[in-house]
Structure 1
Amino acid sequence: MWTKTIGFGITSIILAYIYGKWHNLQLQSLDEKEQNIIESWNDLIIEPKRKFRRISVGINCNLDLIVSGTDLLTALGQSPGESLDSVSLEDIDDLRNTFTHYFKKGAAAERTFTDERKYKQIIEVAEKLPSKQHYIGGNAALMAAKVAELFPNTKIQLIGPIGPLLKSLLPRTMSIPENSHIPSDEVHLIMEYELNENWEGLTSPVANRFITSYDESNSKLTSLNKFFSGLTHFDSDLILLSGLHLLETQGSALIREKIAEVKEGLQKIPKNVPVHLELASMASEELVQAILDQVLPGVTSLGLNEQELSFSAHVADGPHFDDFHTRTGQPEIHKISDMILWILKTYGYSKENPSSRLTRVHFHSLTYHIVGTLPSAWHNTQSAVAAGTRMAGRQACDVNKLSPPDIELRIPGTFKLFSGQDDYTFDENNPVFSWEREGFYFVFSPVLVCISPLKTVGLGDAISATGLMYSDFDISYRNS
């Protein structure tokens, strides 16, 4: 009896030792995979031959108030609601239901409030939460701040509604015209949630955030005329434009008026000055269709995530148009590749469509990025994609250098690059790779996802700005 007991105990110890060794080897193997990707990025990232020196950025600028979304709703006396996606929010019930919808999907979204009084009541509660933070907000201000941080020798002009607290947070090296100053900040509420966060029985599949605001200056694009008139005095060699998504709470008449103003302003910009448009979450089909038809042909580059890309395909009957309603979790790689190609072919520059200037689409998601370009117009694209994906992990973890085990690779081991293709097997020693389709050049890189993210706000803006600054634009494509 004692012999059997001792033998069982020794066997258990041996098995535990073997399992521990195996488990440590598995963890070491995973860490090595991520480290190989980091080293590949570092080797690949080189500065472009033609650098952007003077950049004009506009137009949505605000002060972000960052809180835990579930903590705020709990403080407001709210539990999870119905999974409903409202185009705009009229009251706390709309906020609860729409937040619930995106919390369950793990997708980023942005919706505006229509009632100023109720929005201010919510902000008062949010300001009392102990973990609240104030941060630079608005795609334009975030992109400008990231460029100023990474490229301190670059001259930057920021145009938009800038209140006193926001101004104090912006780099002092930035040029802000006097007519951009406003007496009080426009405050946007950022409701963050973590990976696998539990909210009264609901679990978030990824870390993300839901944004809401009541913002007269940005939602009506009051700085639009100042932005385009300011370009003539700054001699920009790159223009970054954002904030059009905030129009969706306005009536059809104002949407048409402002989109026409954007289109007219873009037509006056010389073709040798690239214009990047950064999109954000939208639910208005009317606005998205107007941006696709009237604005995209007037910009050179487009930045967007899976929500904006799949909703565009849904609105304009593009490939996988039903994916917007059916997708959960991270988007399938081949579907995103198909949709990027559709954008470039439908709205981009070609011999058949020479009036368009669109030659680049930068797609970014939590787990991977794809950039599609007209290869004669953009160079150094692999460096740009590597720099953008590296920045995603750095900013989410709030570190200057990525290292395991704070990050992890979350793409599948095999996947299709586009519909109809055989499965591609991912190689961590060659994480940034390219392919060609119908005359366009595509570059892919995984993101090393931050396991415990500290900053989810402004990731897309930081990614797009970084990718652009490592890109080399060549206007001679129009003569080829």
Structure 2
Amino acid sequence: MSVSKNIPKVEQVWTRLLKEIENNNTNSKRFAIGYNVNIDVVLPAVDFFNKYIEFNNLDISTLEAKDCKEITTIEELISVFKYHFKDGRAAERFVTDSTLYKKLTTFFIENIDHEFLLGGNAGLMANLLCENGTPVLLAGIKGPILEKLIHQKVEFPKCKFLEEETKKENQQKLEKWYLENGIEFGENSDQIHLILEYKEGSSFGGLTAGRTNRFIISNDYFNAKMKTMKLFNSQLTSYQPTDIVVTGVHLGDGLEKQDRLQLVDQFADNIKALDPEIPLHFEFASIANFEFLKKIVNRVLPLIDSLGINEQELSSIAISLDKYSSEEIEAIRNPSPPIKLVSQVIYDLFSKFENTKLSRIHFHCLGYHMVGQKPEIWEDSYNAVAAGSLQASIQASGFTIKNAIQMENFATEKLEFNERSWKLDQVNWNNDGIIRDFDMQNIKFFWAPVAPCKIPIKTVGLGDAISITGFMNSNMKKKKL
């Protein structure tokens, strides 16, 4: 894409973002993160489905691209995948049939080249923080594969028998300790999620992908039921974190109705038990069941200080507000949605929860990042949106800050500046720099562009990396009463 003379070149954007964060000091922070960590297996989606279809002699010619809330059959899986594939939308679904999921995982192990990677919103955020030198306590239990993938400095809830758990004389004590913390012994094995990635322009079932993205499936009841909540909370007082991040409740999407609604109440009660003086961030994720989503919005959002969302998640939340047209909802789902519309939804969300703790919302999409916040609660977030934007480009492209900045024209053969992000005429900006801000009554917004990667090498965990980087670079002035 050519860049007009009135639009900054990519290297100018990169340099300005770097300058914004170079003096920001986050070394004094200490995070506690819960509750989902698992093993991801990244697979080429089209190759996986084509081989599986051929191997099982399936006829998919009549299968429509159709979304559904949960997956019980291979036909439903293919239909849901096609539905999100055609528009290149990120999505995650629970396969409720354990026999089907085992059949899928067995097939990929035997027929598809693969590697195990660290997964789970909480696990990915914990690893990134530790890579940047920030101490982390992670809610989770290490299985044999996870132990090889997680950063060695990530701390897990400790048991005094943990170092001796392989000794037979301590086995009974260890089992009792887990049971006391709500975990049945033996459930702490590695949970495997399948990450089905595809590239823009790839074809499947007569459809062409509109964007590079991924489709995630799992049968992870351990994380879905958030078994580590009690164990995690019991160790926070001694760990003394400066910041807490919670996520993973979206995995309850695959549970039975009564169980998933009860899970939201348990999750909310768990949040209430946390120290209200510690800044609390909640990372949202893709949810298919609208009743489940709406309950999360109404029960959880009033209890948190900070929220992380992307365009798909914001569109779902906008539907729950019941005041936007179908055309506006579709516009929010765009890779780079209208800034005016996004900021209005964020403002309406603040208005809905006006007398609650919610005071910061971090929105990220392909073209830009934006933080809306209450200025009396949070310090200015120029560095937060800058850091999140840089993290998006670095992680998607595989570059580091050092080697990317040294490349002529900021590696323009692989990166391009998203010109659509600069069509900003509907917003009354306070400044006209590369990083900008504007006000909407009592809410202040901070905005930064992203240099999108034409051929991203990794899409999994990108939103988690962006949100935790932005939150790590955000600082609270005081707690709202």
TM-score of the pair, normalised by structure 1: 0.85
Residue identity in the other structure for 1:376: E
The equivalences for 1:417-428 within 5 A come to 421=426
The residue aligned with 1:75 is: 51
Residue identity in the other structure for 2:84: Y
Q: 1-side partners of 2:246 and 2:479: how far apart? A: 23
The residue aligned with 2:90 is: 108
Q: Which runs of 5+ in 1 are unaligned?
A: 1-22
After superposition, give the CA deviation of every residue in 1:102-132 in whole Å (9 maximum; x if it has no partner).
1111111000001111111111222245542
> Do the aligned partners of 1:163 and 1:184 also contact (CA within 8 Å) in 2?
yes
The residue aligned with 1:389 is: 389
Does 1:470 pair with 2:473?
Answer: yes
After superposition, give the CA deviation of every residue in 1:233-267 in whole Å (9 maximum; x if it has no partner).
31111001000111122233223322222222222
Residue identity in the other structure for 2:381: T
After superposition, give the CA deviation of every residue in 1:166-215 in whole Å (9 maximum; x if it has no partner).
12100111111245895521100000011222335422121111101001
Q: 2-side partners of 1:231 and 1:109: how far apart? A: 32
> Do the aligned partners of 1:107 and 1:329 also contact (CA within 8 Å) in 2?
no
Q: 2-side partners of 1:95 and 1:416: how far apart? A: 39
Q: 1-side partners of 2:249 and 2:104: how far apart? A: 25
Does 1:442 pair with 2:418?
Answer: no
The residue aligned with 1:366 is: 366
- Name the count of aligned residue pairs: 441
After superposition, give the CA deviation of every residue in 1:391-433 in whole Å (9 maximum; x if it has no partner).
001101112133322211224165357xxx4698997xx2210
Residue identity in the other structure for 2:352: T
Q: 2-side partners of 1:413 and 1:209: how far apart? A: 23
The residue aligned with 2:139 is: 159
> Do the aligned partners of 1:267 and 1:298 also contact (CA within 8 Å) in 2?
yes
Residue identity in the other structure for 1:238: D
Residue identity in the other structure for 2:157: P
Which shows bigger deviation, 325-334 or 71-80? 325-334
Q: 1-side partners of 2:428 and 2:24: how far apart? A: 32
Aligned mate of 1:461, from 437, 459, 464: 464
> Do the aligned partners of 2:129 and 2:135 also contact (CA within 8 Å) in 1?
no
Q: 2-side partners of 1:385 and 1:253: how far apart? A: 39
Q: 1-side partners of 2:369 and 2:72: how far apart? A: 35
The equivalences for 1:76-475 within 5 A come to 76-77=52-53, 81-150=63-132, 152=133, 154-178=134-158, 182-199=187-204, 201-320=206-325, 323-324=328-329, 329-330=334-335, 331-348=337-354, 353=355, 356-401=356-401, 402=404, 403-405=410-412, 406-412=414-420, 414-416=422-424, 421=426, 430-475=433-478
Does 1:55 pair with 2:37?
Answer: no
Q: 2-side partners of 1:129 and 1:341: how far apart? A: 49
Q: 2-side partners of 1:129 and 1:386: how far apart? A: 42
Structure 1 residues 413 and 278, CA gap change in structure 2 (3 angstroms): closer
Q: 1-side partners of 2:479 and 2:98: how far apart? A: 49
Q: Which runs of 5+ in 2 are unaligned?
A: 159-177, 405-409
After superposition, give the CA deviation of every residue in 1:324-353 in whole Å (9 maximum; x if it has no partner).
4576642322221111111122124xxxx1
Q: 1-side partners of 2:316 and 2:190: how far apart? A: 31
> Do the aligned partners of 1:48 and 1:380 also contact (CA within 8 Å) in 2?
no
Q: 2-side partners of 1:425 and 1:69: how far apart? A: 44
Structure 1 residues 395 and 436, CA gap change in structure 2 (3 angstroms): same
- For 2:197, what is the secondary structure of its paired residue? strand
> Do the aligned partners of 2:435 and 2:447 also contact (CA within 8 Å) in 1?
yes
> Do the aligned partners of 2:340 and 2:427 also contact (CA within 8 Å) in 1?
no
The residue aligned with 2:16 is: 40
Residue identity in the other structure for 1:148: C
**What fraction of aligned residue pairs are identical, expressed as a percent?**
31
> Do the aligned partners of 2:374 and 2:443 also contact (CA within 8 Å) in 1?
yes
> Do the aligned partners of 1:367 and 1:446 also contact (CA within 8 Å) in 2?
yes
Q: 2-side partners of 1:124 and 1:245: how far apart? A: 25
- For 1:408, what is the secondary structure of its paired residue? coil
Residue identity in the other structure for 2:417: L
Q: 2-side partners of 1:235 and 1:134: how far apart? A: 32
Displacement of 1:323 in angstroms is: 3.9
Structure 1 residues 414 and 37, CA gap change in structure 2 (3 angstroms): closer
- For 1:280, what is the secondary structure of its paired residue? coil
Structure 1 residues 88 and 147, CA gap change in structure 2 (3 angstroms): same
Structure 1 residues 452 and 50, CA gap change in structure 2 (3 angstroms): closer
Q: 1-side partners of 2:330 and 2:12: how far apart? A: 36
The residue aligned with 2:166 is: none
- For 1:450, what is the secondary structure of its paired residue? coil
- For 1:56, what is the secondary structure of its paired residue? strand
Q: 2-side partners of 1:270 and 1:220: how far apart? A: 23
After superposition, give the CA deviation of every residue in 1:425-449 in whole Å (9 maximum; x if it has no partner).
997xx22100011111101112111
Residue identity in the other structure for 1:391: Q
Which shows bigger deviation, 76-85 or 101-110? 76-85
Q: 1-side partners of 2:385 and 2:395: how far apart? A: 15
RMSD (Å) for aligned C-alpha atoms = 2.6
Structure 1 residues 127 and 219, CA gap change in structure 2 (3 angstroms): same
Structure 1 residues 120 and 323, CA gap change in structure 2 (3 angstroms): farther
Structure 1 residues 161 and 102, CA gap change in structure 2 (3 angstroms): farther
The residue aligned with 1:10 is: none
Does 1:65 pair with 2:41?
Answer: yes
> Do the aligned partners of 2:430 and 2:436 also contact (CA within 8 Å) in 1?
no
After superposition, give the CA deviation of every residue in 1:15-52 in whole Å (9 maximum; x if it has no partner).
xxxxxxxx9xx589799711110011011114546765
> Do the aligned partners of 1:188 and 1:213 also contact (CA within 8 Å) in 2?
yes
Structure 1 residues 128 and 42, CA gap change in structure 2 (3 angstroms): same
